[in-house]
């Protein structure tokens, strides 16, 4: 199961996320859940880099299916919008009956 944990500060602003593990929906190369999550996560990371001035700390380990993203300092409105959009879409996937056993989205205050 793919686990995505979003981190929020005390003010409720999103400050980053971790995405871990393969979904197990189907075999490698045919796993639409894993492909969707990967595309959304990579899109968000690229958009944070290209369209915001936030300092973003990124870590990825393809072999172990791990991506970690943290915004240094207070996130800009643009960064928060991108992270909220990612969280909303992944939460919608989790709510979908066909996918709920393959993705787990959580929110943690830091």
User: What string of pLDDT tens digits covers the 110 residues of the chain?
Assistant: 999 999 999 999 999 999 999 999 999 889 999 999 999 999 999 999 999 999 999 999 988 899 999 999 999 999 999 999 999 999 999 999 999 999 999 999 99
Return phi, psi of residue 103, to 5°: -145, 140
CATH code of the domain made up of 2-109? 3.30.70.1490
Q: What is the C-alpha separation between 9 and 105, in angstroms, rounded? A: 17
Q: Where are the domains of the chain?
A: 2-109
Q: Are 104 and 20 in contact (CB under 8 A)?
A: no
What is this structure's pTM? 0.94
Return phi, psi of residue 44, to 5°: -65, -45
The CA radius of gyration of the chain, in Å to the nearest whole number, is: 14
């Amino acid at each position: 199961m793919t686990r995505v944990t979003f981190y929020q500060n005390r003010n409720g602003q999103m400050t980053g996320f971790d995405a871990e593990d393969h979904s197990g929906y189907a075999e490698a190369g045919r796993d639409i859940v894993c492909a969707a999550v990967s595309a959304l996560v990579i899109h968000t990371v690229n958009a944070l880099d290209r369209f915001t001035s936030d300092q973003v700390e990124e870590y990825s380990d393809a072999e172990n299916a791990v991506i970690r993203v943290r915004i240094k300092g207070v996130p800009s409105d643009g960064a928060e919008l991108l992270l909220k959009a990612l969280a909303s879409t992944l939460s919608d996937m989790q709510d979908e009956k066909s996918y709920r056993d393959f993705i787990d989205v959580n929110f943690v205050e830091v």
